[in-house]
Amino acid sequence: MTAALLIARRELAAYLRTWSGYVIIAAMLLLDGLLFNAFAMGGSSKRSAEVIYQFFYFSSGVTITAAVFLSMRLLAEERQTGTLSLLYSSPVTDAEIVIGKFLSALAFLSILIVLTLYMPLLVLVNGKVSFGHLFAGYLGLLLLGAASVAIGTFGSSLAKNQVLAAILSGVIVVALLVCWMLSSVTDRPFSELFTALALHGKHFQPFGQGIVHVRDVIYYVAVTFVALFAAIRVLEARRWR
């Protein structure tokens, strides 16, 4: 794991040294702020808990989008620039490469998530905020972000360039989001299956309401594990070609 942490530190430094990471953070914060002002804070008077729930609802979409854009460069850029062979020749395993790059993108995404904290705290001006609600909501955003980054890492491992990586990752994420819609138009047992597979819907809504269910935590951890495992297997297959 030491090698994975070294890779994560190097990749995180690359995010901080280049303008692309800051552009993504600025764009996502702007989008999140606009959605918060227009939908959560706007309109008729609402209870504080409702405003906080809507904040987490819209922030979840921003988090997924940011995760896809942050993760698209992780492995696709190495392959595009021809430096992936250097990683293969270095004394690190495929698992360490994938985990290190995943951790770097997740750390950078966590910075974005933390920077949104001022938005729900604005509710304190005219209302009350439950810090337990905030904890549950931000835990949900972090888990959702981790799963989305892992999916993006898998998409990046398949693609030859960053644009294709973003498209592949976006398709996978959208497919998991659409599962929630399919669950309402199908009969059992398929409706239950689609509900269980949905990336948002059933699994994120409790976090937004300030409720933490073990099943939802396990779901996001499982999605993260499966996506990273698949990315490792893709790298192993490419190594032996």
Q: Dump pLDDT digits (tens) for 120-129.
A: 888 877 778 7
Which pLDDT score, from 0 to 100, does residue 40 have? Answer: 66
Lowest-confidence range among 35-39, 63-67, 130-134? 35-39
Across the chain, how many H-helices and E-strands are there?
12, 0
Q: Which two tokens stand for residue 63?
A: 């988090």
Residues 150-186 pLDDT 10s = 999 999 988 888 889 999 999 999 998 888 888 777 7
Which residues have a Cβ under 8 Å from the Cβ of 130 and sit 6 or more positions away? 49, 52, 210
CA 20 – CA 116 distance, rounded (Å) = 19
In sequence order, which ranges of 36-159 are alpha helices (DSSP H)? Answer: 48-71, 76-81, 84-89, 94-115, 118-121, 131-158
Identity of residue 148: S
Percent of the chain, pLDDT > 70?
Answer: 92
Tell me which DSSP letter residue 209 carries: T
Average pLDDT, stretch 45-64? 86
pLDDT at 42: 64
Give pLDDT, residue 226.
95
Q: Please state the pTM of the whole predicted model.
A: 0.91
Under the banding of pLDDT at 50, 70 and 90, the label for residue 87 is low
101-110 residue pLDDT tens = 999 999 999 9
Is pLDDT at 23 greater than 70 in this prediction?
yes
Max avg pLDDT among 41-45, 50-54, 119-123, 229-233: 229-233
> Which of 95-99, 114-118, 224-228, 232-236 has the highest mean predicted lDDT (pLDDT)?
224-228
* Long-range Cβ contacts of 34-40 (<8 Å, 24+ apart): 35/59, 35/62, 36/119
H/E stretch holding 229 reads: helix 214-239
Supply the mean pLDDT for the chain: 86
**Max avg pLDDT among 31-40, 69-78, 164-173:** 164-173
**Of 219, 203, 222, whose CA–CA distance to 211 is shortest?**
203
pLDDT over 70 (residue 52): yes
Per the listing, tokens 């059992």 go with 188
Instruction: Judge whether residue 88 has pLDDT over 70.
Output: no
Closest to 235 (Cα-Cα) out of 9, 76, 12? 76
Q: Who wins on pLDDT, 188 or 230?
A: 230
Residue 228: pLDDT above 90?
yes
Among 4-13, 71-80, 144-153, the range with the most confident prediction by mean pLDDT is 144-153
